[in-house]
Chains A and B, each alone.
Chain A
Amino acid sequence: MDYEKLINCMRCGMCLPHCPTYKETFLETGSPRGRVALVRKFREEELSMSDQFLDYLSLCLDCQACASACPCGVNAGELVAEFKCEKKGAEGLSFMEELILRRLVPHPDKLESAIAPIRLYQRTGLQKMVRKLGLLKMFPDALERMEGLLPKLPARPLRQTLQEVTPAVGEEQGTVGFFLGCVMSLVFSEASLATVKLLSSLGYKVITPRKQKCCGAPNVLGSDRDGLLEAARFNTDLFSGYDLDYIVTDCGGCGAELKKYGNHLQGDDKAAAFSGKVRDISQLLFERAEHLKMKLNPVNIRVTYHDPCHIAHCQGIRREPRELLKMIPGIDYREMSEADACCGSAGTYNIGKPEMSDKILKRKIANVRDTGAEYLVTSNPGCLLQLKKALEGGDKTVKVIHLTELLLTSMNMALPQPPGTPCL
């Protein structure tokens, strides 16, 4: 790691009020400034890599809210991730990590087969029985949490059903390559289908290369840099084979990673060109706002928006999704406080650090409820999983949906409805 990056931190503390774990702990070791200090002091050989040291670093969500707030351009979240990668690089992957990050995640077919039993588990009524009998209590907490997070899976992953080329409706405006995220395909296929329909109805020919692989973000979470580089090379080569104006994704995590391919593969012009074309769906839709606006019909609901970290902090996109929502006639848009604070999902953080994740989620839920919104819109699968579990169901239910689902609903909505009628 470049020592310069560590000493650039001038310890001003501007990151502290934006760090979800500092807000919960008030501890310097739980803050971005503290994490930079820890890594720096390790490099200066003042501290060693003790269990306590690693434990403090592992509290970082890598939400990068600190990077948005830093006056000197230090990215504490990324520094911690980089530090872990270097450590892992020296130690090598464990058997389980090797299995998941190298043999499962990069192979969509295997990933889909691995998920299939869950679908069966849900559809046969086994899930209901297991939950009723409390059988999950017999397993480790992590498994119970994972089981609880999963919403009902679609009948088939979108990757298997979506045709490679979706033609443009009307006059063609350009060709878009659609990067279909793994979790979007496996779990939120309806949202990604909405994305494709929106793009096509705005005049884009949408190409979804069937052979695409995971973007590599899980490898970053697992501190597996080689796996990440392999994913970056594969996807760059694959997409470079098509003549594309843009590469679009509706997954915040994928978007943030794809935009970094150029940096990851230094000196590879193709990767830089690839990253240059990547757009979050909200960016492209906002560019075509005038056209989209004409197609929208009233939806009379109260809506708030949660900024996924990978969209607001990693990609700097805040205005576009809000403007798109406000464009929908009849929408009562309500901004929540701390909208760009992490929801506690953070990759696998909610499973690995359940206690802290729950505290952070609780704060988010309170902020959502304060707005009185009936719908929470966001655009990242991790946030969708986490927030759906926390907000849907019960008498105070708040529906959690992807931005493109709401926009498509508005587009398909034929008649204006009486105010106050939930309509989705």
Chain B
Amino acid sequence: MNSNTFIKELSALVGSEHTLTDRESLACYKYDSTPEMEGMPDAVVLPGSTEEISRVLNLCNNAGVAVTPRGSGTNLSGGSIAFSGGVVLQTSRMNRILEIDEENLTATVETGVITSALHREVEARGLFYPPDPGSMNISTMGGNVAENSGGLRGLKYGVTADYVMGLKTILSDGQLLATGGKTVKNVAGYNLNDLLVSSEGTLGIFSEIMVKLIPKPQTKKTMLAHFPELEQAALTVSKIIAARIIPATLEFLDKVTIKCVEEYAHVGLPLDVEAVLLIEVDGHPAVVDEEAAAIRQICERHRCSYFQTAATPEEALKLATARRVALSALARLKPTTILEDATVPRNCVAPMVKLIQETARKYNLTIGTFGHAGDGNLHPTCLTDERDKDEIARAHQAFEEIFDATIAMGGTITGEHGVGMAKKKYLPKLVGEAGIKAMRIIKGGFDPKGLLNPGKVI
């Protein structure tokens, strides 16, 4: 099929106003949130329904055209970039919340629903959808499922995969695959839900998603602690868990981040501390009080130099400021921000942070580390300038060493950003030959022509 006929057919399927082929538009769909990566699509379509996604995929499959799915384009591993051209399929128009079932505690949404819009809707009914990735104000549910997004509440509440109950997925030839459902128990056949979660758009494109809801915690308490010694902060994290307390949030900032935050937001952080922990417990008021008191004791036992419990919601917001502005504070320092998500077992947080700091020194880089200490998911953030080719090369070398160390510690190369294009070369090191082979078999079965998000993951 020649390209003019193809574009004509494409716009006949979704409407010409939802089919973009002008130079300027295509240039604006070359990127997502991944630094240093671009790839120009030949067309962008915004389908408005399951049927339209299906027809677009069928057309592309017959024409042998690649399709790259995209939500709001906040992917951090190049996953929504069309490196080999073809069609970018943006799901944003499919943004209806279809059902909130308060008896079965499920929500069914279209794939383009914004994560925080779902939060608002269910929380207004006293319900809770815990996954809260940093981009939740703009990320789409389809993107969250495709990447298996995490967030601050991962330690206690798990990640997106823990909440997916059902999916409607359009396969590469346009066929609709419905998996899962409203039952808590379901062992009929292979667990395709779990296979499709974190498939990064390489196996199919979601059109509808059903997630599990839980009751909203009655109350929460926010605490902040400063530590002059990094090891003591890390030990505090382990001891809190060992005391059978699972905080909803257990966040960490290292020295470089603290310095940047203080310079940017003047929140009153001392510059001589090595680590700051932001801790939040939620649940029944009596339990929350008890846990907060125990956490205070643990922090003090590990020589925290400062501890504060928020008395009001406003105070809680103030305590959380340092963590909230961490990325902004770092990102303002230099034009290019490389945000990684190396993840290690919880008891390796201290050695990992130390290793990141040493690696930064070795390659003469500025790397601030913050992140989810409770689940070992760290965000070493390298501040650089894409025009400085030498520094960029050193940054990549540093991250290579950091990832090698994560794997050696029993961790993973990505906790929540996905493999996409950016981590592809590290994946074989982590999953081995058999892992890659199994993934290739699955990919080949779902997408024999290799047209769905080609070049990603494996």
Contact = CB atoms under 8 A, between A and B. Distances in A.
A14 interface: yes
Given A7-B335, A12-B135, A72-B328, A52 B23 contact: yes
B187 to A, nearest CB: 39
Nearest to B334: A8
A286 interface: no
Contacts of B25: 27-29
A365 B380 CA distance: 44
Interface string B8-48: 00000000000010111101110111110000000000100
Contacts of B72: 13, 16
A291 to B, nearest CB: 25
A56 B332 contact: no
Contact of A17 (B33, B137, B386): B137
B77 interface: no
Contact of B23 (A4, A47, A73): A47
Interface magnitude class on chain A: 20 to 34
B84 interface: no
Contacts of A52: 22-24
B82 interface: no
B24 A14 contact: no
B386 A11 contact: no
B28 A10 contact: no
Interface in A259-303: none
Contacts of A29: 24-25, 28
A10 B328 CA distance: 11
B162 to A, nearest CB: 25
Nearest to A16: B138
B117 to A, nearest CB: 9
A13 B138 contact: yes
Contact of A50 (B24, B35, B328, B337): B24
Nearest to A15: B138
B27 A38 contact: yes
Nearest to B29: A28
Contact of B24 (A8, A10, A12, A53): A53
B33 A46 contact: no
A264 B137 CA distance: 34
A22 B235 CA distance: 45
Contacts of B27: 37-38, 41, 46-47
Contacts of A14: 135, 137-138
Interface residues of B, number: 34
Interface string B315-338: 000000000000110011001110
Interface string B62-81: 00000000001110000000
A37 B31 contact: yes
B172 interface: no
B24 A17 contact: no
A152 B20 CA distance: 45
B222 interface: no
B202 interface: no
B28 A71 contact: no
B303 interface: no
Contacts of B20: 27
A106 interface: no
Contacts of A7: 335-336, 386-387
A26 interface: yes
A179 to B, nearest CB: 30
A387 B397 CA distance: 56
A248 B32 CA distance: 43
Interface string A64-100: 0000000111000000000000000000000000000
Nearest to B31: A11
A153 B23 CA distance: 47
B357 to A, nearest CB: 23
Interface of A: 4, 7-8, 10-14, 16-17, 26-29, 34, 37-38, 41, 46-47, 50, 52-53, 56, 71-73
- Lowest 8 A-B CB distances belong to which pairs? A71-B328, A26-B92, A28-B28, A34-B28, A13-B74, A72-B331, A7-B335, A17-B138
Interface of B: 20, 22-25, 27-29, 31-35, 46, 72-74, 90, 92-93, 114, 116, 135, 137-138, 327-328, 331-332, 335-337, 386-387
